Amino acid sequence: MIKRNQPVLLERVNKMRQATNVGEYQEYQGFSGLLKAIEMEKEAILDELDLAHLRGRGGAAFPLGKKWRHLYGAKGDTKYIVCNADEGEPGTFKDKALLKHDPLSVIEGMVIAGYLFSAKAGYIYMRGEYLGIQKIFQEALDNAEKAGFLGENILGIPGFNYNITIISGAGAYVCGENSALLNSIEGKTGRPRVKPPHLADVGLYLQPTLVNNVESFAGIPVILREGGQAYRELGTEDGGGTKLICLSGHIKNRGLYEVNLGTSLQDILYSEEYGGGSSTGRPLKFIHFGGQSGPIGAVQHLEDCIYSYEGLWDKNLSIGSGAIVVMDDQVSIVDYLVQVAAFFAHESCGKCTPCRLGTTRILELLTKFNNQTAVVGDLERLEKMLMHVTNLSACGLGQSVANPMKSGLAYFPEEFEAGIREAVAPVKGGLW
């Protein structure tokens, strides 16, 4: 039985001596989710997932039950299971902990998916910066196969043949986008595909494909073991379960934590159990949620904020990957956003023009504000450019560039205005 405020995903992380040992994993209820799943009707598995209301933990927060049901209904004899372990979102290091310290939980989640969808092949695409962890994960895969949880006739079930292959990334943030990730697995450059079609219908090698994040897969065994309702009760109305959060920046206790969805943000920032307040002695100024592509909130406006999907949506914020990057009052929002813009300009894959050129133009404009060489009209140009890049880009990278910029502008407009050199005459003419 699981209760609120107990570690669920990090339970074994803090206890296991050898993360890849199947016997030890089973001592901590490992593989009991899979054992339950194979006793259930497949429709009943989907019902439990719906009940659990787990939202995808990669950042998009799409209800996992719906995604799995879509793939279940997709036509095709060959279905692929893919785990997105490309974790490249700055401020995020949660998947690393699971991959390194509890790889078998991710494997168990992927095997349950393999069973449900009668898949033969699973892939885990792990970022190239985690090379050492790839070795640990491979050891976990080998051990799971030896113990009969992967390979041929898994658990003695005839025809339940399923294997998982590790594919390494090699340094491309855009490969965290699901269709780019699939292209990369196919041995191509990792540029996103045009959608629709949905990946659940036309995915890896043009077959129906499930792509979920590491943390999402790790939650699946818990849901089946404890029941969808029990899992849901760990969270709130709009999203069940616990969430791994990564605290970094000017916060005393930087690191990885697991919280119930519904925890107060003030607790996360200031209580000794979590953040412990400012590390610099200066007041905290703003928080960047969910990685570089997430929105920014001003600390002084977040006193009553609840860390949950709906709690953040109410404030025009979002959980995203779970990154919580906190900055103190000595950081200029414009200076901060220049670095964020530089990140996107660097990481745009170049396939679609709005993102390739737009990210560069945004960086140039923000740099002007930062150097106090912006001119009257630049603010409007910036807003228009943000709108273009959001609406015209082909994938989530370009579509989310404006999130931090727009929220930064909304909370701290005076810092942008201070970057405008008033002496210069207004520029006439079109606004792109």
Give me the residues that bind another protein (CB under 8 A), please. Answer: 87-93, 96, 123, 127-132, 134, 165-173, 184-190, 246-250, 254-256, 279, 288, 292, 323, 325, 327, 331, 336, 339-340, 342-343, 346-347, 349
**Unique residue bearing structure tokens 């219908």:** 201
Name the residue nearer to another protein (CB basis): 97 or 107. Answer: 97
Name the residue nearer to another protein (CB basis): 176 or 228. Answer: 176
Name the residue nearer to another protein (CB basis): 22 or 338. Answer: 338
**Unique residue bearing structure tokens 């079930």:** 157
Nearest 10 degrees: Cα torsion 359, 362, 368, 374: 160
**Unique residue bearing structure tokens 């036509």:** 75
Name the residue nearer to another protein (CB basis): 189 or 300. Answer: 189
Amino acid at 225: R
318 within 8 A of 290, measured Cβ to Cβ: yes
88 within 8 A of 175, measured Cβ to Cβ: yes
To another protein, the closest distance from the beta carbon of 189 in angstroms equals 4
Name the residue nearer to another protein (CB basis): 343 or 412. Answer: 343
Q: Which residues of 221-259 are buried (b: 16+ CB within 10 A; e: fewer)?
A: bbbbbbbbebbbbbbbebbbbbbbbbbbbbbbeeebbbb
To another protein, the closest distance from the beta carbon of 332 in angstroms equals 10
Radius of gyration of the chain (CA): 22
To another protein, the closest distance from the beta carbon of 214 in angstroms equals 12
Q: What are the percentages of helix, strand and coil residues in the chain, rounded to 5?
A: 45, 15, 40
To another protein, the closest distance from the beta carbon of 38 in angstroms equals 28
Name the residue nearer to another protein (CB basis): 103 or 239. Answer: 103
In terms of C-beta density within 10 A (0-12 exposed, 13-18 middle, 19 or more buried), how is residue 355 classed? buried
To another protein, the closest distance from the beta carbon of 327 in angstroms equals 6
Give kind and range of the element (H or E) at residue 298. Answer: strand 296-298
Name the residue nearer to another protein (CB basis): 56 or 88. Answer: 88
C-alpha span between 85 and 103 (Å, rounded)? 11
To another protein, the closest distance from the beta carbon of 357 in angstroms equals 19
To another protein, the closest distance from the beta carbon of 168 in angstroms equals 4
C-alpha span between 343 and 173 (Å, rounded)? 10
